[in-house]
Amino acid sequence: MEMAATDIGEALDEVRGQIEKAVQTAGRPSDAVTLVAVSKFHPAAAVEAALRAGQRVFGENRVQEAAEKFPRLREQYPHLRLHLIGGLQTNKAREAVRIADMIESLDRPTLSDALAKAADQEGRMPDLLVEVNTGDEPQKFGVPREKADEFIRQSRMRFGEQLRGLMCIPPAGEDPVPHFRFLRSLADQHGLPVRSMGMSADYPLAIAEGATLVRVGTAIFGARPAGVAGD
Ligand SMILES: *Cc1c(COP(=O)(O)O)cnc(C)c1O
């Protein structure tokens, strides 16, 4: 069931309050963390309710779904920013480059090639994050830990400043903190300013460990339909 617009506004206020508290506790600057509202599987009306409540940055997993919802909303809300946060197939690279402001899931050389080609064709390039599979889970997207250093270096050479940072999704049911620390230190080693980590269940912890982007879905928009967790 979809949440009413007022409920989405209230949920956003609650999440913003939690973020502010975590930022203060960590002694970080008040603008250190950006909230990415993950709207996958929720209709455009839910996104619009969040936009009216002042939310600006959104995350979607699937290119197709994002392409259906966002270009129209963007006409009305030109400040909107769209992050693609799901595993990306190379045949979706061009559409992704066309619609996204940031792609958080760069994880292999073939995708780098596809994105570079798409950027040439489209005349624009979104910001990029390398997704690191910090738990080395076989079913997950993301570059494995042992290949991360080299892939980040290559991506930096290829995309320059457009490579902004790193993203991770720690294994479900594990303490996420070691994963957040690993991502943080890897980003620091490479001089990358953006760390995308933390979801509904653990974003305050991620902020304590240096997240600059938190990706929060359920805590804002409510539960997604069963069976479509989407990562
Ligand atoms: C779905 C998803 C989220 C949001 O998860 P919630 O637990 O609903 O906050 C964050 N990041 C990624 C990559 C996702 O796929």
- Domains of the chain in start order, with CATH, are 5-221 (3.20.20.10)
Pocket test for ligand 1, best of 199, 207, 216 (most atoms within 8 A of CB): 199
Pocket test for ligand 1, best of 15, 19, 34, 38 (most atoms within 8 A of CB): 38
Q: Residue 62 above 60 pLDDT?
A: yes
What is residue 230's predicted lDDT score, i.e. its pLDDT? 47
What is residue 225's predicted lDDT score, i.e. its pLDDT? 75
Ligand 1 first shell, C-beta below 6 A: 38, 40, 61, 85-86, 169, 199-201, 215-219, 230-231
Q: Which residues pair with 130 in a beta bridge?
A: 106, 166
Residue bearing the CA closest to ligand 1, atom 4: 217
Mean pLDDT of 50-56: 98
Q: How buried is 17 (Cβ within 10 angstroms: 0-12 exposed, 13-18 middle, 19+ buried)? A: exposed
pLDDT digits (tens, 9 = 90+) for 101-112: 999 999 999 999
pLDDT bucket at 228, cuts 50 / 70 / 90: low
Q: Residue 227 above 50 pLDDT?
A: yes
Residue recorded with tokens 């460990």:
209
Q: Residue 91 above 60 pLDDT?
A: yes
pLDDT digits (tens, 9 = 90+) for 166-175: 999 999 999 9
Q: Residue 231 above 50 pLDDT?
A: no
Mean pLDDT of 177-191: 98
Distance 113 CA to ligand 1 centre (A): 26
Residue bearing the CA closest to ligand 1, atom 14: 231
User: Across all residues in the chain, what is the average pLDDT?
Assistant: 96
Cα–Cα distance for residue pair 97/122, rounded to 1 Å: 7
Ligand 1 atom with least separation from CA of 221: 8
Task: Report the predicted TM-score, pTM, of the whole model to 2 decimal places.
Answer: 0.96
Cα–Cα distance for residue pair 211/184, rounded to 1 Å: 8
pLDDT bucket at 1, cuts 50 / 70 / 90: low
Distance 120 CA to ligand 1 centre (A): 30
Q: Residue 65 above 80 pLDDT?
A: yes
Distance 124 CA to ligand 1 centre (A): 26
